[in-house]
Amino acid sequence: MSEEPDEGYAVDVAVESAQLGSARLVVLRGDINFSNAEATERRVTSLVDGAGAIVIDLSGVRYLDSSGLNLLLRQARGAAARGVGFVVVRAEEALPLFRLEAVGRALRVVGSRAAAAAALRE
């Protein structure tokens, strides 16, 4: 996995990327909130540019507020507009925002990277 510093990037969120089969895997770790969601989204956007499929792994995210959720929703809409599969791997214990029914309709959320890879093959 690669982790590259981004000028002005909030140090409390680690962003790493790798391949998961044919998908671009982006692993986020830390707390994603209003203070760092914009910088985090810029980093995610640069990593998924040109990807044929995207998996965002939140298993290392301790806290995600509505700013972080909106980051995911914008990424999912952008992927859909490009015809690219987009799947989110949630934390072992679901983050509270993922318990909302509307989120489940807007994002494809699974419990593991293996499940994400399988979901992209469907």
- The per-residue pLDDT for range 44-58, each reduced to its tens digit, is 999 999 999 999 999
What does the pLDDT average to over 72-84? Answer: 96
- Give me the chain's average pLDDT, please: 88
- Determine the pLDDT at residue 2: 53
Q: The CATH number of 13-121 is which of 3.30.70.260, 3.30.70.890, 3.40.50.970, 3.30.750.24?
A: 3.30.750.24
Of 54, 75, 51, 64, whose CA–CA distance to 99 is shortest? 64
pLDDT greater at residue 121 or residue 102: 121
Residue bearing tokens 């791997």: 89
Compute the distance between CA of residue 63 and CA of residue 87 in angstroms, rounded to an integer.
19
pLDDT greater at residue 38 or residue 8: 38
- Determine the pLDDT at residue 96: 76
pLDDT over 60 at 102, yes or no = yes
- Determine the pLDDT at residue 69: 92
Going by pLDDT thresholds of 50, 70 and 90, the confidence category of residue 17 is very high
Going by pLDDT thresholds of 50, 70 and 90, the confidence category of residue 75 is very high
- Determine the pLDDT at residue 18: 97
Compute the distance between CA of residue 64 and CA of residue 30 in angstroms, rounded to an integer.
9
